[in-house]
Amino acid sequence: MGLPALRAFYWRFIGYILLEILAVYFTLKQLFSKHSKLTHSKTHRNLTAIVTGGLKGIGLEITRQLLQRGVTVITASLKKDTDHDTLKDLQTKYKDKIVTNLTINLGSLDSIKKFVEQFTDLGLPVNILICNAGVMIPPYMETEDGFESQFGINYLGHAYLTHLLLPHLRKAGTPDCWARVIFVASSVHYGGELRFEDLHGRVCYSPERSYMQSKLACVTLALLLDRRLRAEGAAVAVSAVDPGVVRSSLYQFAQWYHFSGPAWPLLLTTAQGSDCAVFAGLAGQLEGRGGLYIENCKPAAPNPLATDQLVQETLWRETKRLLGIESTW
């Protein structure tokens, strides 16, 4: 085995160990903590939410909770994940509410642009945007636009979607009812670093490190965007949430996934995993508050890199370059 191969093995091995340590730590932490959730039953009939990945896993439970509280929901899902039976069941159960699905591929900038065009044609506001969809530790793959899949889908796709929807969010937000953007991140963002010299892992790829990096990028963007929007006087609050360590098919690429049955009861259900995002989207005590990293429905300190303004600005500059966009925020 040559030196480059040894370096690659070491890079991936350390990333794997780091992610596993964080996963075990936060599993134990949630096991010995009281689970929190939004408890009020107030209805929000004048609000419209977009939920990416809203027909599957945590996203489906977010959709259900929003519908239960009277919110109009637009789910944004991959064509292959659009379960028409699930959508029909939701429409039947919540027949006095509005729920519809628009296809999106967060690994395609063209698809994201078409989604926003289709949404705009509906003539609805965007009061809540929940950036939930994602992939976790797959083998190296690239998106349609040539980005590493995790950084491209988990971060860049949602960054582009948020960018295109900002005019809708600015318009929807009022001093009495701010629009909200929520990035569903992960506790493992604490192990992430932003490798600006190799964001796509082409020099040395570690699925675990790339996943942690993508989630750190989401938290970093949330804090930057909230700061920028607040400075311009927009009534749009942006935060990131940790859903917890959840029983989910998101782990399908993990080596331990098919042998993890005994540990499953220690993890949160997908319904519990949706609670923090719903809290961030609807909690009255968060009205007008953003720039938060929320864990178990309570503000927590994020990875210090996410609060570093130089890191934030460098990430946004690189993001604009990769997405080919101009932005004043």
pLDDT at 9: 78
Model pLDDT, residue 259: 44
Per-residue pLDDT for 102 more than 70?
A: yes
Residue 29 CA to its chain's centroid (Å): 21
Looking at residues 165-177, what average pLDDT do you find?
Answer: 97
Contact partners, residue 99, CB within 8 Å, separation at least 6 = 63, 67, 72, 73, 74, 75, 87, 90, 91
Least confident window among 24-33, 42-51, 62-71, 130-139? 42-51
Query: Residue 211 belongs to what H/E stretch?
Result: helix 207-231
**Residue 44: its pLDDT value, please?**
83
Residue 101 pLDDT exceeds 90: yes
Whether residue 70 has pLDDT greater than 90: yes
- pLDDT tens, position by position, 107-133: 999 999 999 999 999 999 999 999 999
**Res. 232: pLDDT tops 70:** yes
Give me the mean pLDDT over the 34-50 stretch.
88
Which pLDDT value is given to residue 251? 60
In the predicted structure, residue 5 carries a pLDDT above the cut 90:
no
CB burial of residue 170 (10 Å; 0-12, 13-18, 19+): middle
**In this prediction, what percent of the chain has a pLDDT beyond 90?**
78
Nearest residue to 278 via CA among 296, 266, 292: 296
Q: Mean per-residue pLDDT for 141-152? A: 98
Position 38 scores a pLDDT of 93
Interaxial angle between packed helices 109-122 and 158-172, expressed in degrees from 0 to 180 and rounded to the nearest 10:
20
Whole-number pLDDT of residue 199: 96
pLDDT of residue 242: 98
Predicted confidence band at 329 (pLDDT cuts at 50, 70, 90)? low
Q: How many C-alpha atoms does 181 have within 13 Å on its Cβ side? A: 30
Q: Which residues pair with 293 in a beta bridge?
A: 240, 300
- The closest of 147, 154, 283, 136 to 219, measured between CA atoms, is 154
- 241-294 pLDDT, tens per residue? 999 999 877 665 565 554 455 566 789 999 999 999 999 999 999 999 999 999
Judged on CB neighbours under 10 Å (0-12, 13-18, 19+), 153 is: buried
Q: Which residues are catalytic?
A: 211
For all residues of the chain together, what is the average pLDDT? 92
CA dihedral 133, 138, 140, 141 (to 10 degrees): -40
Domains of the chain, CATH where assigned: 3-73+87-98+108-323 (3.40.50.720)
